[in-house]
Amino acid sequence: MRGNPSFYVVFFLLLVFGVTFAGCSDESSSAETTTPTPAHPGAKYQDGDIIATPSSAGTSSLYVILKYDAATDQYTRAVIEKNPDGSWGHRSSDWTEKSPREALEKTYTVKAGHVAISILPVITPVILPETTQNPSGNAPSLSKISPTSAAKDTVVSVTITGSNFQNGATVKLFKAASTPITGTVTSVTAFDLSCLFNLNGKSDGRYNLIVTNPDGQSDSLQGVFTIGEVAPVIAGMYPVTGALNDKIPLTISGQNFRNEVKVSFLKNSTEMVCDNPLSMESSKISCTLDLSKNRGASLGEWNVTVINIRDGQRGTWLKKFVVTNATPEDD
């Protein structure tokens, strides 16, 4: 062996090849085993899970999870309805929505059931003709609702405009996973309908509107009314002026007034507050404004602001209230 140079050459080549092969194997193994670690925990719900809030678990319309995308950490959800026999279900439309996993799981903590997504049908509801009742005219047609929003825990007066409204028509606000809110109709003409909605205890969100005539024909508008922490709006005031040292009964009209309100009159750094404000139907406030000098009153224009005490939302009138000179009878 000592005298055979070829042996050393072969041995050296085998050694180099072995080291190179081992290095490539290590690199390949390392590349294959390195996988990105998700930055978020696993999803709580699976495809087909029916989810609800604790208060909505017993309703006939809930959300169903269609899929979960780990890359975006979002669920895709749809509305699922109960069948006539009480079982889940079917979808009443092809509407879907993507929701962040963390926010959805925080709100919808109850798993109310499970269905197989692959066999979940989409059944669009239709009004079937009744053999004992024929339509007595054209179906109602909705144009708009005013106002379009209201604060929680208030009673709001709304006006719905359109055509073909009939005496005895019913009005409802509805959204998924919530009990419909039925309005109390106060007046009806062929072209407009007024009603009151009691929003005490109702949940925040955007609601759909449906008007149904006594003959069963109806029309709806999607997402046209919002319940939530909305700011008051001052539309007008009567009177708009008051004499110095007088006590003025005021009526303020608008929307989104809560039961507990403050009516503030501000001029420079001086504030006057209306006494005994009473909010009615979220659209009107009655109060008494004392324009005595010892209450801070002075001649000139004053800004008027309504403040909902419970949530701090406020709205300021675009016009001004004017304090004038006292009349001779007041001196």
- Is 42 part of a structural domain of the chain? no
3-state secondary structure of 133: strand
Let me know: does 316 contact 271? Beta carbons within 8 Å.
no
Q: Let me know whether 224 and 263 are in one domain.
A: no
Q: What is the DSSP pairing of strand 247-255 with strand 284-290?
A: antiparallel
Which pTM value belongs to this model? 0.46
CA torsion 88-94-98-102 (nearest 10°) is: -10
Let me know: does 110 contact 51? Beta carbons within 8 Å.
yes
- Is 212 part of a structural domain of the chain? yes
Q: How far apart are CA 320 and CA 98, in angstroms?
A: 46
Q: Let me know whether 99 and 157 are in one domain.
A: no
pLDDT for 20 equals 54
**Number of domains forming the structure of the chain:** 3
- Is 16 part of a structural domain of the chain? no
- Is 158 part of a structural domain of the chain? yes
Q: Let me know whether 216 and 238 are in one domain.
A: no
Q: Look at residues 117, 243, 233, 138 and name the one whose alpha carbon lies nearest to residue 191.
A: 138
Q: Let me know whether 207 and 253 are in one domain.
A: no
In angstroms and rounded to an integer, the radius of gyration of the C-alpha atoms of the chain is: 34
Let me know: does 236 contact 250? Beta carbons within 8 Å.
no
Which domain, by its residues, includes 100?
49-119
Tell the burial category of 286 from Cβ atoms under 10 Å away from its Cβ (0-12, 13-18, 19+): middle
Let me know: does 227 contact 152? Beta carbons within 8 Å.
yes
Q: How many CA atoms lie within 13 A of 98 on its CB side?
A: 7
Query: Which of 200, 228, 256 is where one domain is finished?
Result: 228
Q: How far apart are CA 60 and CA 45, in angstroms?
A: 20
Q: Let me know whether 211 and 224 are in one domain.
A: yes
Say which amino acid occupies 68: Y
DSSP states of 160-190: EEEE---TT-EEEEE-TTS--EE-EEEEE-S
- Is 224 part of a structural domain of the chain? yes
Cα angle for residues 280, 231, 52 (degrees, 5° grid) = 95
Q: Let me know whether 250 and 296 are in one domain.
A: yes
Q: Let me know whether 252 and 312 are in one domain.
A: yes
- Is 132 part of a structural domain of the chain? no
Q: How far apart are CA 69 and CA 75, in angstroms?
A: 6
- Is 31 part of a structural domain of the chain? no
- Greatest CA separation for the chain: 139
- Is 33 part of a structural domain of the chain? no
Question: How far from the centroid of its chain's Cα atoms is residue 169's Cα?
Answer: 26
Q: What is the pLDDT along the chain (331 residues), one digit of tens a residue?
A: 455 556 555 566 555 555 455 554 444 444 445 555 455 678 999 999 999 888 677 777 788 999 999 999 999 988 888 877 778 878 867 778 888 898 889 888 999 899 998 888 877 544 444 444 456 678 999 999 998 888 877 888 899 999 999 999 999 999 887 789 999 999 999 999 999 999 888 888 889 999 999 999 999 999 999 888 788 889 999 999 999 999 999 999 988 888 789 999 999 999 999 999 987 667 899 999 999 999 999 999 999 999 988 888 899 999 999 999 976 554 4
Residues in Cβ contact with 160 at an 8 Å cutoff, skipping those fewer than 6 apart:
142, 144, 145, 171, 192, 193, 194, 195, 209, 211
Cα angle for residues 271, 273, 276 (degrees, 5° grid) = 175
Give how far Cα 284 sits from Cα of 235, 236, 240, 317, Å. 10, 10, 15, 14
Q: Let me know whether 186 and 221 are in one domain.
A: yes
Tell the burial category of 157 from Cβ atoms under 10 Å away from its Cβ (0-12, 13-18, 19+): buried
Domain of 297, CATH number, reads 2.60.40.10
pLDDT for 2 equals 52
